[in-house]
């Protein structure tokens, strides 16, 4: 078995730090609506999110393999590449979280790996297959998220059109606990796996693993760190998504969570890394737009979209610069 170097330890710690930030800034997406509709207290919602995010991360490795094998050629990159990518994620996501902007750790990760790969080995380091899945994931998160949320809320409005509002609120107050759980499980099954893939990639590059196979202990470790991140932060994100973006009732939250979680689960089964942030946000927009177009606070939505767009170039540039700097002194 190859010796564990100091560089490997540092890179693995950076991956775990990025996974912690993922739990801190991205996992709150799963519980934003259930908190804003006051179905669950923040404390109980966080506990549920922690448990189900961890469980979701253990449901498969298809997304982890896409991240670890689909974006950069492991034969021409090194540990510095992975470390540079993680640095960009930590810097950008922490910056956005400070301002309460829900960014996509998925987009940050692929942009970070791409920028760091270019800095290490040039265009030869990049693989098209992963980016093809990211483009498909953008379609899933944008159109399926918005469409599922929009159609579900219309179906609920029609089915319960003769039901007293107080009874509707009570029914969906209970059902929303299930939809929030579904969303948390979906986040773990997709986003939770991405840093598991990065962790495994570092072990493979260093020679600790002879082939790219995800060990069970890596799943437990990364999922646990993500859960800790979720438990210590996230209120700013919850406020932006669940309160500032659209005023939500319990049935709105149920439709948004169920629509987003359905799109995420389909993507996870297909090994497509998509942005859970993007998906739940577009689902909330779809639910809001079903009432009337002006029900969505489009100024807030514009800030969120701007953060999504900036993620690719900013993380790519940070990771490229960080990798070049490290290689210069290595």
Per residue in 296-311, pLDDT (tens digit) is 555 655 666 666 678 8
Q: What does the radius of gyration of the chain's CA atoms come to, in whole angstroms?
A: 19
Tell me if residue 41 falls in helix, strand or coil.
coil
Question: What was the pLDDT predicted at 118?
Answer: 94
On average, the pLDDT of the chain sits at 82
Question: What was the pLDDT predicted at 28?
Answer: 65
Domain enclosing residue 20, as ranges: 6-329
What does the alpha-carbon distance between residue 234 and residue 313 come to, in Å, rounded to a whole number? 24
Structure tokens at 209: 């693993």
Q: What's the DSSP call for residue 330?
A: -
Asked if residue 1 belongs to a domain, the reply is no
Q: Return the biggest CA–CA distance within the chain.
A: 70
What does the alpha-carbon distance between residue 285 and residue 278 come to, in Å, rounded to a whole number? 11
Tell me the average pLDDT across 89-109: 79
pLDDT of 98 above 80: no
pLDDT of 38 above 80: no
Tell me the average pLDDT across 200-215: 91
**With bands split at pLDDT 50, 70 and 90, how would you rate the model's confidence at 238?**
low
Question: Residue 24: what are its φ and ψ, rounded to 5°?
Answer: -75, -40
Cα angle 284-288-292, degrees, rounded to a multiple of 5: 160
* Residue that has been written with the tokens 């929009």 in this structure: 150
CA atoms within 13 A on the CB side of 266: 15
Question: Residue 72: what are its φ and ψ, rounded to 5°?
Answer: -130, 145
What does the alpha-carbon distance between residue 235 and residue 219 come to, in Å, rounded to a whole number? 26
Count structural domains, the chain: 1
Question: Residue 155: what are its φ and ψ, rounded to 5°?
Answer: -65, -40
Lowest mean pLDDT among 75-84, 174-183, 204-213, 235-244: 235-244
Give the start-end residues of each E strand in the chain: none
Share of the chain above pLDDT 70, in %: 85
CA dist 264 → 11, 54, 186, 233, 321 (Å): 29, 16, 6, 23, 32
Asked if residue 296 belongs to a domain, the reply is yes
Dump pLDDT digits (tens) for 112-144: 999 999 999 999 888 887 788 888 888 888 888
Asked if residue 228 belongs to a domain, the reply is yes
**With bands split at pLDDT 50, 70 and 90, how would you rate the model's confidence at 205?**
very high
Asked if residue 92 belongs to a domain, the reply is yes
CA atoms within 13 A on the CB side of 152: 27
Task: Please give the model's pTM, rounded to 2 decimal places.
Answer: 0.82
Asked if residue 303 belongs to a domain, the reply is yes
The residues, ordered by sequence, that sit 6+ positions from 221 with a Cβ below 8 Å of its Cβ are 16, 199
């Amino acid at each position: 078995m190859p010796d564990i170097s100091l560089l490997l330890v540092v890179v693995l710690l950076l991956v775990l730090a990025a996974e912690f930030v993922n739990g801190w800034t991205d996992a709150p997406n799963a519980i934003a609506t259930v908190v804003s509709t006051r179905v669950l207290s923040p404390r109980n919602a966080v506990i549920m999110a922690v448990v189900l995010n961890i469980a979701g991360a253990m449901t498969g490795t298809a997304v982890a393999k896409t991240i670890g094998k689909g974006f950069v050629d492991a034969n021409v990159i090194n540990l510095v590449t992975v470390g540079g990518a993680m640095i960009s994620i930590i810097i950008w996501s922490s910056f956005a979280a400070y301002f309460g902007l829900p960014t996509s750790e998925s987009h940050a990760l692929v942009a970070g790996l791409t920028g760091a790969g270019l800095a290490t080995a040039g265009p030869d380091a990049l693989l098209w297959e992963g980016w093809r899945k990211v483009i498909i994931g953008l379609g899933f998160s944008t159109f399926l998220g918005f469409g599922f949320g929009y159609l579900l809320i219309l179906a609920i409005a029609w089915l319960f059109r003769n039901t007293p509002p107080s009874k509707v609120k009570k029914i969906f107050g209970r059902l929303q606990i299930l939809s929030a759980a579904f969303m948390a499980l979906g986040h773990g099954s997709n986003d939770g796996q991405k840093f598991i893939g990065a962790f495994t990639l570092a072990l493979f590059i260093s020679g600790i693993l002879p082939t790219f196979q995800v060990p069970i202990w890596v799943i437990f470790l990364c999922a646990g760190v993500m859960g800790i991140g979720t438990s210590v932060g996230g209120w700013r994100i919850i406020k932006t998504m669940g309160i500032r973006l659209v005023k939500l009732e319990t049935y709105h939250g149920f439709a948004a969570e169920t629509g987003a979680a359905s799109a995420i689960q389909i993507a996870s089964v297909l090994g497509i890394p998509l942005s859970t942030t993007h998906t739940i946000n577009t689902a909330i927009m779809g639910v809001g737009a079903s009432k009337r177009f002006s029900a969505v606070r489009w100024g807030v939505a514009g800030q969120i979209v701007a953060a999504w767009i900036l993620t690719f170039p900013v993380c790519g540039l940070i990771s490229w610069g960080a990798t070049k700097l490290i290689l210069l002194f290595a």
